[in-house]
């Protein structure tokens, strides 16, 4: 089994430090930027967050297929990291730029730039995530690499979430719109530097056989014909989530029943009559570990995303000290780094499945405690928040290393490996969960009458902020813990699968 050098692990971690300047950092402030600086209503911003996730449902899957079928002297995944980085940096700046447009013009601009940012992130992060699955065949090394990755991720998030309010104040000098824009220039430059380091220091070692019958053009065309089956479930879920009425509920049920019929028909189709795209889908639909991880990715992102999405509001209005938001983020992310780096050691002691369940239960229970914290007790807020975050940081670290295990399982079972597609689904549910989490924060606040441009609405919205910091995210954590009980792969099984795959590749 390949043992990765420290230099390569650190180099790989720099990529997620860069990505999380956008994902865990900038996007944590995007909701409050849209409502309090850019000038969108909470309801309009919530719909924006949801609609953008519809595009992610298609682009992540397409990107996974393209990456799997890319063949260059640099490998399948590393070239995409290099090519997409300048685009990602550009849209990071554009998203936090406030043009002098009308209300409708601003809304259109927000849609264009936010969709552009998520597309650029897909081009960059789907191949980056899949890269971990081909750097080593060892599941224990992947766990260690994932720990380094998320330590880097939390460092990147720390830089933005911890220092963004102060940098906005310094660069803007009272003009928040200008402060956000100039601050993003700094972070976009840093993003480019870190991504180049990742490209230069990593190596792809697992090279599965190329299917001679694979034709990317025909398979993308085949995917295009089946786009309604990807878009309709997301659309029905989005409409029901946003409107929550009987009509959208009926539409959601009908779409889900139709999907069940289509999936059953696909599973009963002889393999010889399937296209490459359909074979990939069947491989995934019969991969129980991957299916469970898909649900876990959504639930854990809802858990973490809701908490992070409401923090800026919570400190600005519930605590009454907006600048303390940065200090709280710094404290959380320092603890997160410790949690991510502890994951490899703890998973060896407990096993990945057991550690996942324990981390979810403990983090969920500690999060519930926020409901009873008095508004002025800042010390208790920090203690409880940091304690919950240590266990919450273990969740994404385990999630992505276990996606690599599910890719091994798929190759072992089906003699076909679609690393990019498996990881693209992982990043998709993470982004979908993040989008729904951000939208849920705004929907709950809107239901309490919150209007960021009207100070008279703040008092009535404080209870909404309190449950968004406690019971609502904790419910997703407890649900995820229950789902994880059904995960079938043990550490011993992962090791045996890895050894057998190694022998197959040698042969």
CATH number at residue 487: 1.20.1250.20
The answer to the question of residue 102 being in a domain is yes
The answer to the question of residue 348 being in a domain is yes
Over the chain (507 residues), what is each successive 10-residue block's mean pLDDT?
Answer: 81 89 72 82 78 70 77 86 92 90 88 90 87 79 80 79 81 87 91 94 76 59 62 67 70 79 73 65 72 86 84 78 76 84 85 90 92 81 89 86 78 67 70 75 79 71 83 92 88 75 69
Give residue 351's region: left, alpha or beta (phi > 0; psi -120 to 50): left
Structure tokens at 471: 């019971």
The answer to the question of residue 12 being in a domain is yes
**DSSP structural state of residue 210:** P
pLDDT at 482: 93
The answer to the question of residue 1 being in a domain is no
pLDDT at 209: 57
pLDDT at 11: 92
The answer to the question of residue 164 being in a domain is yes
Phi, psi dihedrals of residue 448, rounded to the nearest 5° = -95, 5
The answer to the question of residue 209 being in a domain is no
The answer to the question of residue 214 being in a domain is no
- The label of the residue with tokens 């967050």 reads 49
Q: In terms of residue numbers, what domain contains 19?
A: 6-204+225-506
Phi, psi dihedrals of residue 75, rounded to the nearest 5° = 110, -165
The answer to the question of residue 17 being in a domain is yes
**DSSP structural state of residue 372:** G
**Coil, strand or helix at 160:** helix
Residues 6+ positions from 353 with CB-CB distance below 8 Å: 484, 487, 489, 490
* Consecutive H or E run containing 119: helix 103-135
* Number of domains, the chain: 1
Does the predicted model carry a pTM greater than 0.75? Answer: no
**DSSP structural state of residue 77:** S
498 HSE (CA, 13 A, CB side): 23
Degrees to nearest 5, angle at CA 408 with 405 and 411: 155
Residues comprising the chain, all counted: 507
């Amino acid at each position: 089994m390949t043992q990765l050098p420290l230099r390569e692990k650190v180099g790989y971690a720099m990529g997620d430090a860069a990505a999380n300047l956008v994902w865990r950092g900038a996007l944590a402030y995007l909701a409050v930027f849209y409502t309090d600086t850019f000038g969108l209503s909470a309801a309009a911003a919530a719909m924006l967050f949801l609609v953008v996730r519809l595009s992610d449902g298609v682009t992540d899957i397409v990107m996974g297929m393209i990456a799997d079928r890319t063949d260059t002297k640099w490998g399948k995944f590393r070239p995409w990291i290099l090519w997409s980085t300048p685009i990602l940096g550009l849209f990071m700046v554009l998203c936090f730029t406030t043009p002098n447009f009308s209300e409708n013009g601003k809304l259109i601009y927000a849609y264009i730039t936010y969709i552009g940012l998520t597309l650029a992130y897909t081009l960059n992060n789907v191949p980056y995530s899949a890269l971990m699955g081909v750097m080593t065949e060892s599941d224990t090394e992947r766990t260690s690499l994932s720990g380094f990755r998320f330590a880097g991720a939390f460092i990147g998030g720390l830089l933005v979430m911890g220092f963004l309010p102060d940098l906005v104040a310094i660069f803007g000098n009272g003009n928040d719109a200008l402060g956000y824009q100039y601050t993003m220039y700094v972070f976009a430059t840093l993003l480019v530097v870190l991504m180049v380091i990742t490209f230069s220091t990593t190596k792809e070692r697992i090279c599965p056989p190329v299917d001679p019958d694979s034709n990317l053009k025909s398979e993308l065309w085949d995917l295009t014909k089946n786009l309604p089956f990807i878009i309709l479930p997301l659309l029905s879920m989005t409409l029901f989530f946003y409107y929550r009425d009987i009509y959208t509920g009926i539409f959601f049920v009908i779409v889900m029943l139709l999907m069940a019929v289509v999936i059953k028909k696909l599973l009963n189709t002889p393999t010889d009559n399937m296209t490459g795209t359909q074979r990939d889908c069947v491989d995934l639909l019969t991969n129980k570990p991957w299916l469970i991880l898909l649900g876990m990715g959504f639930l854990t992102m809802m858990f973490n995303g809701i908490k992070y999405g409401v923090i800026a509001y919570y400190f600005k209005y519930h605590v009454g000290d907006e600048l303390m938001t940065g200090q709280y983020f710094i404290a959380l992310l320092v603890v997160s780094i410790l949690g991510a780096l502890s994951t490899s050691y703890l998973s060896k002691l407990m096993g990945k499945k057991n550690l996942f369940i324990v981390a979810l239960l403990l983090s969920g229970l500690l999060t519930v405690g926020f409901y009873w914290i008095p508004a002025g007790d800042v010390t208790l807020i920090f203690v409880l928040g940091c304690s919950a975050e240590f266990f919450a940081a273990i969740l994404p670290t385990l999630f992505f290393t276990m996606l690599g295990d599910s890719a091994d399982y798929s190759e072992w079972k089906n003699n076909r490996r679609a690393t990019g597609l498996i990881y693209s689904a992982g990043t998709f549910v993470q982004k979908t969960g993040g989008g729904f989490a951000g939208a849920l924060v705004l929907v709950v606040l809107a239901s309490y009458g919150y209007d960021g441009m009207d100070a008279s609405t703040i008092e009535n919205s404080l209870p909404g902020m309190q449950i968004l910091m406690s019971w609502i995210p904790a419910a997703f954590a407890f649900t995820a813990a229950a789902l994880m009980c059904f995960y079938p792969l043990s550490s011993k099984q992962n090791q045996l699968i890895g050894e057998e795959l190694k022998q197959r590749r040698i042969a």
